[in-house]
Amino acid sequence: MKQRQLIVYRDFPGESLLEKMTGLMENYGEMDRGEAAGELYDCLHELLEQAGRYGFQGNLWHCYLAHLLVNHENSYSMGCEIRGPVEGTVNGAVLHDMEIFREWYQYDFGPMEAALGVPQLELALRYESSQRESRVYNTRIRARICELAGKLARDGSAREMKDTLTEFYREYGVGKFGLHKSFRIRQGKDGAEIEPILNIAHVKLEDLVGYEIPKKKLTDNTEAFVAGRKANNCLLFGDAGTGKSSCIKAIANEYYDRGLRIIEVYKHQLEYLSECISRIKNRNYRFIIYMDDLSFEDFETEYKYLKAVIEGGLEKKPENVLIYATSNRRHLIRENYSDKEEIRQDMHTSDTVQEKLSLVSRFGVTIYFGAPDRKQFQDIVTTLARRNGVELDQEELLAQANKWELAHGGLSGRCAQQFIDYLLGRMP
């Protein structure tokens, strides 16, 4: 079988469809007609299921092949991700593989349809998808894979196909890190696994009204990081509902095209940080490990894992990894008046204080987000109302907003957004 002649692009885990389809292409004429037709219907079913899962349209066989290529992490694809073409003998091996994929792309299914009496195969070769299809990719990536499939089918040679694929790797990357913006850690059978977050909020920095100085400090540091310059770990601290988490989501959207990826880690997962970093340190992306609402009580010692990972271990910290955290606490760890009392059970008071401050001191950039005053709150409400098409008299709008904040958590950007959502919910 041609599949076994692949050199670089082989061993697609859990992909029986490729073996079934290529087996039919090569052997359907020698198989029992009923058995071959049944096998083809199985393939048709799998192609349609994939269309629903990924949102593919057009020639589903071509989309499937493109999907295999953009997800296959090998020495060539990972070398090309974000950086572009690589040099060396591997290019000859990839060209050999593209010759085989070209045969699959150019295959004429007409004789097979006629011989096996399965005209329904046309459904998969000219498929129109629903707008709601795709539980895995966002619209942009889904469309790009379909475009890639069409381009590979139109390419006149294996070398053109290789160039097309290489350009995709340079622009988007490869595998889950190439096709998704954000990730989380999940406990798997073999330790920590990094899995994509499929639905990330499409927040932009300009959506956050005000806070221009904090936003600039954050973007300046992130800009240096994605450009390959020196950058610092960041701590965003301050009052609740002031947009700290929204800023992190916004930079995930803002810098995705430049190779930035976000991995969300919860406090109880800090022990997996070293394992997580070991899996991403040699990739060509820039990774921000994001910890939301980070704080520790006196009895919680997980922060020691974080201290060691940031700067305390023997191994050099990877240049493509930073840590961004948000917290309502300036120093992350709960502090008591007793920490500074002269008479206490601890003989070394200053050592205790330094231990608690040592974590936050490892964040080179700290950015404060304070609650807005009443005028700033009203400006936020007015701006959000205008953006969302809320048509209310200015005086009435602000009067209702003042009543809302008194009953719903006080002055904050979050409270303002909730008020606007309330108004939008009442609109016909």
> Do residues 308 and 404 share a domain?
no
> Do residues 16 and 149 share a domain?
yes
Please, which pLDDT band fits residue 74 given cuts at 50, 70 and 90? Answer: very high
Give the span between the Cα atoms of 271 and 50, in whole angstroms: 36
Give the span between the Cα atoms of 1 and 362, in whole angstroms: 56
Give the span between the Cα atoms of 220 and 205, in whole angstroms: 13
Say how many domains are in the chain.
Answer: 3
Phi-psi region of 290 (alpha: psi -120 to 50; beta: other; left: phi over 0): beta
Give the span between the Cα atoms of 248 and 219, in whole angstroms: 10
Q: Does residue 186 fall inside a structural domain?
A: no
pTM of the model: 0.82
> Do residues 344 and 382 share a domain?
no
**Which of the listed residues 151, 179, 207 is the one where a domain comes to its end?**
179
> Do residues 265 and 243 share a domain?
yes
Q: For residue 238, what is the DSSP state?
A: E
Coil/strand/helix, residue 190: coil
Q: Does residue 167 fall inside a structural domain?
A: yes
Q: Does residue 127 fall inside a structural domain?
A: yes
What is the tens place of the pLDDT at every residue in 102-140?
999 999 999 999 999 999 988 999 998 776 655 677 777
**Which of the listed residues 130, 146, 179 is the one where a domain comes to its end?**
179
> Do residues 201 and 175 share a domain?
no
pLDDT of 75 reads 92
> Do residues 381 and 364 share a domain?
no
> Do residues 32 and 60 share a domain?
yes
> Do residues 55 and 151 share a domain?
yes
Q: Which domain, by its residues, includes 45?
A: 2-179
What is the tens place of the pLDDT at every residue in 32-73?
999 999 999 999 999 999 888 888 989 999 999 999 999 999
Give the span between the Cα atoms of 145 and 56, in whole angstroms: 8
H or E stretch covering 221: helix 212-226
- Encoded amino acid at 317, one letter: K
H or E stretch covering 262: strand 260-264
- Strands 191-196 and 182-188, sheet pairing: antiparallel
> Do residues 300 and 157 share a domain?
no
> Do residues 227 and 121 share a domain?
no
Coil/strand/helix, residue 155: coil
Q: What's 331's domain CATH number?
A: 3.40.50.300
pLDDT greater at residue 160 or residue 84: 160
What is the tens place of the pLDDT at every residue in 298-331?
666 666 667 777 765 556 678 899 999 888 777 6
What is the tens place of the pLDDT at every residue in 237-254?
888 888 888 899 999 999
Q: Does residue 234 fall inside a structural domain?
A: yes
> Do residues 23 and 151 share a domain?
yes
> Do residues 220 and 297 share a domain?
yes
Q: Does residue 184 fall inside a structural domain?
A: no
**Which of the listed residues 322, 343, 369 is the one where a domain comes to its end?**
369
